[in-house]
């Protein structure tokens, strides 16, 4: 339970503490693109925000894909002739090749090697490997563990099932003033990887909670789904209503020590792209903005040419951009409360701009209207930024021609968006502009 201040408000560090605690709980679970690990993950997220969970049967056609068989695993190990477990799934879910078919055999190390995956350049790390759509089996282990294994016979067992079942994903809705939607997506298919997907899940969860405490303009839809096949399934099941999606953000790698990276949508000039560029620049945080590429996370599904949604991707260090990526070194020590809290703060700042970005029409466009007799200058008295606020009013009046948004005003004037939006609110209240 987070500490409470005397005023009854959560301290500034509380979101980071709570997000880290959520990552800690989720970390041991064995997740994949289907199975009970995904359901257990969503059950825990559901303790923080209400979720609508969807189960899509094996064999369902989803765009050009088919929902695969469901994979579950109970145990797996490699044991020596004395019964000592050299590699043990119980110690880490990374030790098994994802989607491994069941196996129970005894074989020499020479034959076993073809089914072992290591990282020779990082001999103490265990890699994350999968074989979703090919019937394979295997183990992932540290190179130093393999080097210490003498030739001889080994018992190999993977107690798993591949059977008809379901693909599971979940949604959470934050109702807005309009039905137009902003989607926030994160993937829930990786096992014990703290940054590459758990930090994104945590930030999405607490972003949803924060938005629910407001009355946002847009309706916000949070999607917790396995990577690739999950997003494709969601798109297939929502193709008839996808035109409601006006903006979107994919969250991943949200807790590492690197600076923030925003990957633009396929459009490159979508409103979410402009908002993210503006917010990151105005915040003076170290950051990068990169062009869209059809590789990465599920932004490539939302931005596929048939949908071409305005969906970008926010990470800290991008996918495959840090040595720990898809290894056991992406652990609880690799992510921090501060990094997740910073990622959450940027999301909140961006959505605050997105929610208030409007186009207005000046109702007194012939010459400059007299602001003093309407009390607008008096309303600014005592403000430390009085001159800036006055300039914001003049800029809003001048660019309120039905073609420029408040973000246009902020970018052209060099004024903070919040100052521009506040000025627009005052002018609207005085009857000088209308949306």
List, as residue ranges, the binding site for Zn(2+): 190, 196, 326
- Residues with Cβ within 8 Å of residue 283, at least 6 apart in sequence: 346, 349
Pull the structure tokens for residue 226: 């396995």
Spell out the alpha helix ranges (H) of 197-241.
200-212, 229-237
Task: Provide the annotated binding site.
Answer: 190, 196, 326
Single out the residue of 316, 264, 254 nearest to residue 285, CA to CA: 316
N residues, the chain: 435
Q: How far apart are the first and last CA of the chain?
A: 43
- Residue 220's nearest CA partner among 270, 175, 251, 271 is 175
CA distances from 144 to 86, 117, 119, 150, 377 (A): 12, 12, 9, 12, 72
Give the span between the Cα atoms of 57 and 69, in whole angstroms. Answer: 9
Instruction: State the pairing for strand pair 260-263/311-315.
Output: antiparallel
Instruction: Check if the beta carbon of residue 139 is closer than 8 Å to that of residue 117.
Output: yes
């Amino acid at each position: 339970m987070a500490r409470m201040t005397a005023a009854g408000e959560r301290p500034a560090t509380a979101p980071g503490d709570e997000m880290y605690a959520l990552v800690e709980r989720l970390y041991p679970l064995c997740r994949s693109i289907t199975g009970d690990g995904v359901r257990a993950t969503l059950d825990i997220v559901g303790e923080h925000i209400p979720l609508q969970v969807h189960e899509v049967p094996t064999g369902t056609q989803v765009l050009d894909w088919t929902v695969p068989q469901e994979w579950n695993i109970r145990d797996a190990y490699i044991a020596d002739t004395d019964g000592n477990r050299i590699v043990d799934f119980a110690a880490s879910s990374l030790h098994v090749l994802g989607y491994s078919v069941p196996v129970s055999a005894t074989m020499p190390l020479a034959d076993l090697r073809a089914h072992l995956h290591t990282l020779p350049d990082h001999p103490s790390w265990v890699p994350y490997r999968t074989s979703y759509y090919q019937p394979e089996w295997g183990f992932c282990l540290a190179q130093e563990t393999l080097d210490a294994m003498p030739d001889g016979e080994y018992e190999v067992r993977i107690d798993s099932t591949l059977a008809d079942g379901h693909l599971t994903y979940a949604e959470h809705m934050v109702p807005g003033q309009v039905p137009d939607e902003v989607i926030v997506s994160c993937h829930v298919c990786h096992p014990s990887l703290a940054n590459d997907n758990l930090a994104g899940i945590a930030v999405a969860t607490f972003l949803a909670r924060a938005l629910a405490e407001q009355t946002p303009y847009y309706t916000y839809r949070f999607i917790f789904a396995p990577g690739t096949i999950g997003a494709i399934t969601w798109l297939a099941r929502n193709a008839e209503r996808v035109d409601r999606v006006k903006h979107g953000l994919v969250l991943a790698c949200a807790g590492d020590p690197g600076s923030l990276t925003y990957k633009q949508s396929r459009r490159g000039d979508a409103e979410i792209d402009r908002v993210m560029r503006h917010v990151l620049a105005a915040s003076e945080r170290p950051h990068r903005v990169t062009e869209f590429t059809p590789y990465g996370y599920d932004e490539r599904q939302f931005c596929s040419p048939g949908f071409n949604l305005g969906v970008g991707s926010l990470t800290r260090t991008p996918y495959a951009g840090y040595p720990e990526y898809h290894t056991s070194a992406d652990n609880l020590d690799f992510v921090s409360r501060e990094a997740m809290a910073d990622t959450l703060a940027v999301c909140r700042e961006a959505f605050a701009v997105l929610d208030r970005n409007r186009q207005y029409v000046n109702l007194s466009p012939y010459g400059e209207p007299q602001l003093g007799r309407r009390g607008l200058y008096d309303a600014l008295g005592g403000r430390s930024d009085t001159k800036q606020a006055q300039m914001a009013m003049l800029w809003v009046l001048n660019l309120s021609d039905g073609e420029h948004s408040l973000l246009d005003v902020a970018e052209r004037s060099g004024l903070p968006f919040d100052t521009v939006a506040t000025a627009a609110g005052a002018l609207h209240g005085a009857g000088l502009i209308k949306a």
